[in-house]
A and B are shown apart, each in its own frame.
Chain A
Amino acid sequence: MKQEIIIAGFGGQGVLSMGKILAYSGLIEGKEVTWMPAYGPEQRGGTANVTVIVSDEEISSPILSTYDTAIILNQPSMEKFEKTVKPGGTLIYDGYGINIPPTRTDINIYRVDAMDVAAKMNLIKIFNMILLGSYLKLHPIVQIESVLKALKKTLPERHHHLIPQNEEAIKTGMDLVK
């Protein structure tokens, strides 16, 4: 098993932390993982993206030009990364940030209205976890239990009381894809 994933959106949307939690979940299950951010003058409102690889075997390059899955949260990232999904791969996008939907027919495209659902549920800050849930429904590369353990590891203790909300968000995301 090897999944090469790009997560891309605006800075502040939780792109890097979604990737970090996914990578940590892989680590908890004894898998090989890399997490490579496109760092730069990124800041809230600018674009941010991260490449996460989760694999049963040693990972060669942490930087790729094509991906098994793209999780896309804004229009600039759609323009940049729709074309990088491997044929037969997966593209998940949040309808809220996208004016021009993807058009490729050789990949599996899922629109998940995570931002709208998060707003209704008062979970806006963790809408990235809804998308992570959707992704894990389609590609169950790690167990939900591992994600919860990863949250415990990566969140500072003062935020641990939010873990049940994160779990709820992940489960919501799983229900949003069929």
Chain B
Amino acid sequence: MADQEITLMKGNEAIAHAAIRCGCDGYFGYPITPQSEVLETLAEQKPWETTGMVVLQAESETSSINMVYGGAGCGKKVMTSSSSPGISLMQEGLSYMAGCEIPCLVVNVSRGGPGLGTIQPSQADYFQSCKGGGHGDYHLIVLAPSSVQETADFVDLAFELAFKYRNPAMILSDGVIGQMMEKVVLPPFKPRRTEEQILKECPWAATGRPKTRKPNVITSLELDPAKMEEINIRIQKKYAEIQEKEVRFEEFMLEDAEYAICAFGSAARIAKKAIEDARKEGIKVGLLRPITLWPFPYKEIEALSHKVKGILSLEINAGQMVEDIRLAVNGRIPVNHYGRLGGIIPAPDEVVNELKKMM
């Protein structure tokens, strides 16, 4: 039962351990605070000696994402991780991978921007993660863990979704979730897939052409716009299916709530504390926490807008997710935003004050 042992570790360390355990074939990355522990932990664990997982420090983030592109094109379970400015460098690769419909996992342990920004926590990469970031009509599947346990669990989940829909998936963490130590039970070991399994499960992959089939071509390029439109329509159908089937969220103290906070990731933890404090003052407030940021829980927030008098979007940014909440609410009730910027984290008492302003 060594697998079930409860340990104490950082969110970043949990990503590395979970990657090894879920049968990841390769990690390609470049160090950057506050995510460096991912690569450090992998280097310490030396999975190439045990599961055979490749771990490589690339010369840049651009290089990392293109190594991931190559590995994913061969049907391998591959990933990278970085922090905001590094993720910006990866956007071209992500757009290409979404266009080619190949799966991978990218972890963003985000920090305060724009530009080089600060190394402290921030959620200012919501737009970049959920609304493209790269060019073209595409989405990443975006999971936002709010504990070290979820961080560990979402590595396998992200790979499952990425392969199911042949689309890049992202775990959007931040400096709080990445640097904090909490209790975690690591997922059980899954063996890496064999070459035979890859051939069977990824018939699209570039695995070396036998005489029995046509070449598998992995490209996002079609010179004929009619064909290109067909591909785009197919991709959009897939996105509609993901929006329909894969929305994940958590509700906290919403049963009798008159007001709601919407928050994801680390901000949701602060929101829970604010809710505990506000309820001591008799304010009936609860939390709706989107776990998938894309697909976004539009329907659930729409339903919520019929039950509560107002929603406060708590984000560690200048107001990004609040746009999606307002789309879902469609003007029925007031939707306010509260956030701090540049690496400053809002304190629970600031959030309670913002709630009072809504009442």
Contact = CB atoms under 8 A, between A and B. Distances in A.
A23 interface: yes
B327 interface: no
Contacts of A96: none
A87 to B, nearest CB: 15
Given A36-B176, A61-B348, A41 B182 contact: no
Interface string A63-87: 1110000000000000000000000
A40 interface: yes
Interface in A24-44: 24, 27, 32-37, 39-41
Nearest to A52: B181
A65 B8 contact: no
B175 A39 contact: yes
Given A41-B119, A61-B273, A34 B180 contact: yes
Interface string A9-27: 0000000000010011001
Interface string B334-358: 0000000000010111000000000
Interface string B7-19: 1100000000000
Contacts of A46: none
Given A39-B179, A63-B345, A33 B119 contact: no
A24 B181 CA distance: 10
Contacts of B349: 65
B353 to A, nearest CB: 12
B345 A34 contact: no
A120 B70 CA distance: 61
Nearest to A34: B182
A31 to B, nearest CB: 9
A33 B181 CA distance: 8
A61 B183 contact: no
B272 interface: yes
A34 B270 contact: no
**A27, A34, A37, A62: residue with the most chain B Cβ atoms closer than 10 Å:** A62
Interface string B172-200: 00011001111100000000000000000
B8 A62 contact: no
A40 B270 contact: no
Contacts of B240: none
Contacts of A37: 179
A99 interface: no
A13 B34 CA distance: 22
B8 A40 contact: no
B176 A63 contact: yes
B287 to A, nearest CB: 10
A103 interface: no
B269 A35 contact: no
Nearest to A50: B181
B120 interface: yes
B6 interface: yes
B276 interface: yes
Given A36-B176, A39-B175, A65-B347, A60 B34 contact: no
A64 B348 contact: yes
A36 B179 contact: yes
B269 A23 contact: no
Contact of B183 (A27, A64, A65): A27
Given A61-B272, A64-B273, A64-B347, 10 more contacts: A33-B8, A33-B183, A36-B179, A36-B180, A39-B119, A40-B119, A60-B276, A61-B269, A63-B176, A64-B348
Nearest 5 pairs of A and B residues by beta carbon: A61-B273, A60-B272, A65-B347, A35-B181, A60-B273
